[in-house]
Structure 1
Amino acid sequence: MKALLARIESLFQFIGGLLPESLLMLFARLAIAYTFFSSGRTKVTGLLDVTDTALYLFQEEYSVPLIPPDIAAYMAAYAEHFFPILLVLGLFTRFAALSLLIMTLVIQLFVYPDAWNVHMWWGIAMLYLLKHGGGNWSLDHLFSRHSRQEPAMR
């Protein structure tokens, strides 16, 4: 039995080794970006004109504390465009993931408290990005690699 479990474990390690971690990070970035960007697009017309419907929802349905509803609507619409773009580019990945994680917590606690079964998956992806960053296929990696290179000799 022990030998069988060891073989199964080595099979899973082999399969896991076929998936580059940077690919998983890219998928996490794109999945979260798509989710929030799509939501942001429902709140605006044109480039970033917040709709009357979005303003109404923040005034009448969404119970965001401490922030006036009209300001919350603009903040949400802009955040749902800006941070996903950063995630797609892999630029300031940890900052973008943290910002959207905080937004998710606000949504979970004050707007849709029964939607934990969706929000937990978003949170897992964002916590993964917070811990590991954007991966090798990101501008974060490109810029950090470039900044670590030795300066040219004079």
Structure 2
Amino acid sequence: MTTLSARAAAHGKPIRANPVRAFGRLAERLIPEDAIALITRLGVAAIFWSSARTKVDGVLHITDGTYSLFREEYRLPLIPPDIAAHVATYSEHLFSILLVLGLFTRFSALAFLGMTTVIEVFVYPDAWPTHLSWAALLIYLIARGGGAWSLDRAARLD
């Protein structure tokens, strides 16, 4: 069985390249997966770091406003609001730093995916487009890891 391009070449007809496929191959050569992993890590870390910094004054002093949000607006089931405020605040700081470093990338991404799921289900269900975007980035990191430019790779953890 011959391919269409082989038959065209045999009959002296010009072979037309598929521009979509050609662009895809060019993009694969020009954009290394390690760059995608790094950009994804930094992007996700920036989202959660920004959220973490709204919850504190100074270095890690949780604000009264944060406690209020967890008591009055977020109202998570099963977890007392003051504990939830601490866990969320410290987790957002810790896992953001780990993602920037590329250390324990898969675990950090999994932790953020869990947080994203809780936020989606219990806090802001109407924000699903945003949360779905976060989930896609996090699932990529869980599946592929932090890439060559990560401490995971340097320490042979990945």
> What's the TM-score, normalizing by structure 1?
0.89
In the alignment, which residue of structure 2 is the partner of 1:42?
A: 54
Root mean square deviation of aligned Cα = 1.7
Cα-to-partner distance string for 1:86-126 (whole Å, 9 max, x where unaligned): 00000000000000000000000001010001011110000
Aligned residues: 145
Which residue of 102, 109, 113 corresponds with 1:97? 109
Return 5+ residue gaps in structure 1 as ranges: 146-154
Secondary structure of the equivalent of 2:125? coil
1:4-153 matches, within 5 Å, as 6-144=18-156
CA-CA distance at 1:15 after TM superposition: 2.0
Larger radius of gyration: 2
Corresponding letter in the other structure for 1:51: T
TM-score norm. by structure 2 comes to 0.87
Counterpart amino acid of residue 9 in structure 1: R
Q: Which has the higher contact order (CA 8 A, sep 6+)?
A: 1
Structure 2 unaligned regions, length at least 5:
6-14
